[in-house]
Amino acid sequence: MSLAESSRPRSDAADDAFWSDVDRHLVRYGARFTPEVIVRAEGSWVETEGGRRLLDFTSGQMSSILGHSHPEIVATVQRQVAALDHLFSGMLSRPVVDLARRLADSLPDPLEKVLLLTTGAESNEAAIRMAKLVTGGHEIVSFAGSWHGMTAAAAGATYSSGRKGYGPTAPGNFAIPTPNAYRPDFTTPDGAFDWKKQLDHAFALVDAQSVGSLAACIVEPILSSGGIIEPPPGYLAALQQKCRERGMLLILDEAQTGMCRTGTWYAFERDGVVPDILTLSKTLGAGLPLAAVVTSAEIEEEAAERGFLFFTTHVSDPLVAAVGNTVLDVLERDRMDERARVLGDRLRTGLLDLQDRHAVVGDVRGRGLLQGVELVLDRESKEGSDELGAGVTRRCLELGLHMNVVQLRGMGGTFRIAPPLTSSEEEIDLGVEILDRAIGEVSRELLG
């Protein structure tokens, strides 16, 4: 059955022709396409060709933290593209150096050296490449629920999806258990999640498999594709100590958690750790392709002395660097970290109310404006339901809310909720209201 036949209601001839072209000409690269043709977006809303307005509770691809078509970003793009858009990769411009300095100023010491790139996968690729060169090792550790990108090293450190059918990854990639307090694999006598025992066990397995060439551990401070899993307080510090003991670097991937989304500028601030290498993407460009690798002068110096090479077509591009500077302007001026905390508290209160009223809402988790809701068939067994998640997603779309469910088998009942930081209280409340209605209708339909 074609996409046009299976995913959308039939309409007029022009619409049919569009979806026929989709079926004939587009490579399918992941989840099903949303069965709507989007023609414009502004603020927290996207508009379909048919005139429907959809409240965007995913900030595009979890990126548009300032909403769609933010007027200051629009003005920056128009101004910058007319003056200086792209350069030979060995040339520098003021927007690039300004953004590097400002990112360094926003971070704790010793993070001060910046490499500006395009995507999260590319920044993680560069970070892993740098870690391997500096340490002389090649082995990389990451969470079993991780997602770090689709390029070689980033994909090798990604375990949540996409590993089968492509042949071997580079040798030396090790997965450790995701610290999921809702589904604990190690428990204390009273049934609480024993993350310390889990972490000890994880590195005992790493040590058993390592050939003595450990280079780095790369993790997300809050796993997104893994189901909005937040490691318990103290975990990241303990993980960093495990790395120190083995001569490994700690890389934190803040693609979705950086730039105020979690209520602080960077999610790692809660834990009192400073990574050896930090990667940023998605939120840094607020929807445009901008990413960064940030590290210490010591690590950068060692990498440079060893001939670090990451000479790409769009490294240090001035256009997106100018956008990044505008993003920082708005975040600083409008105190978006505080706004994300306040709106996040409002969103979480609404989601916890849904948990009180709907038996299928098993868990609510996350921080700031990055929240997760896991639907279950039974709270005691915690049995998930992809069918329930898919049904609620469809119903939300029908009611005017775009939601994102984790696209992994067995986790399709977990929602990733990440509205723009510019959302109004009314938009947050409306999204929760639509989700409430969708959960109620679909759970009654499927479960009686």
Tens digit of each residue's pLDDT (9 = 90 or more) over 69-93 = 999 999 999 999 999 999 999 999 9
Annotated active-site residue 256? The verdict is: yes
Put simply, whether the predicted model's pTM sits higher than 0.85 gets the answer yes
* Annotated catalytic residue within 56, 125, 253, 386: 253
210-236 pLDDT, tens digit each: 999 999 999 999 999 999 999 999 999
Is residue 52 among the annotated active site residues? no
Among the listed residues 292, 355, 245, the one whose alpha carbon sits nearest the alpha carbon of residue 123: 292
Supply the pLDDT for residue 1: 36
Question: From its phi and psi, is residue 392 left (phi > 0), alpha (psi between -120 and 50) or beta?
Answer: alpha
Query: Helices (DSSP H) in 56-119: which residue ranges?
Result: 59-62, 71-83, 94-105
Q: How confident is the model at residue 448 (pLDDT cuts 50, 70, 90)?
A: confident
> Which pLDDT belongs to residue 410?
63
Q: Are residues 165 and 208 in the same domain?
A: yes
pLDDT confidence of residue 11:
58
CB-based contacts of 447, cutoff 8 Å, min separation 6: 360, 377, 388
Q: Is 55 left (phi over 0), alpha (psi -120 to 50) or beta?
A: beta
430 and 297 both lie in a single domain: no
For residue 23, the tally of other CB atoms under 10 A from its CB is 13
Of residues 254, 256, 300, 339, which has the active-site annotation?
256
Which of 282, 341, 365, 395 is catalytic? The answer is: 282
DSSP summary character for residue 187: B
Q: Which DSSP letter does residue 166 get? A: S
- CATH number assigned to the domain comprising residue 135: 3.40.640.10
DSSP code of residue 407: -
Confidence class for position 406, pLDDT limits 50, 70, 90: confident
Q: Is 253 a catalytic residue?
A: yes
340 shares a domain with 292: no
- Tell whether the torsion through CA atoms of 304, 306, 138 and 239 is positive or negative: negative
* 133 inside domain: yes
Strands 53-56 and 401-402: what pairing? parallel
CA distance 243 to 259: 26
Query: Is 19 among the catalytic positions?
Result: no
Catalytic site includes residue 195? no
Instruction: Count other Cβ atoms within 10 Å, centred on residue 381.
Output: 9
pLDDT at 408: 66
Q: Which of 147, 271, 337, 374 is catalytic?
A: 147
Domain of 51? 36-69+335-447
pLDDT for 127 beyond 90 = yes
Domain-embedded: residue 8: no
The residue written with tokens 């490691």 in the block is: 231
Catalytic residue (choose from 122, 220, 374, 427): 220
Measured N-to-C along each axis, helices 297-305 and 120-135 cross at an angle, to the nearest 10 degrees, of: 70
If asked whether residues 141 and 105 sit together in one domain, one would say yes
Each residue of 315-370: pLDDT tens digit?
999 999 999 999 999 999 999 999 999 999 999 999 999 999 999 999 999 999 99
Mean pLDDT of 423-448: 96
Judge if 174 and 321 occupy the same domain.
Answer: yes
Last residue of a domain, one of 299, 333, 367: 333
In single-letter form, the type of residue at position 21 comes to D
Is residue 288 situated within a structural domain?
A: yes
Is 372 a member of any domain? yes
If DSSP codes are grouped into helix, strand and coil, which group holds residue 157? coil
Q: Is residue 5 part of a domain?
A: no
Q: What is the dihedral of CA 347, 350, 352, 355, to 10 degrees?
A: -130
353 is a catalytic site residue:
no
Distance CA(447)–CA(360), nearest Å, equals 10
Residue with tokens 């607020």: 286
pLDDT tier, 14 (very low <50, low <70, confident <90, very high otherwise): confident
* Domain end point (choices 333, 368, 395): 333
CATH number at residue 346: 3.90.1150.10
264 and 383 share one domain: no
Per-residue confidence band for 407, with pLDDT thresholds at 50, 70 and 90:
low
Cα 193 from Cα 13, distance rounded (Å): 56
- 105 token code pair: 């100023």
- Domain stops at, among 300, 333, 366: 333
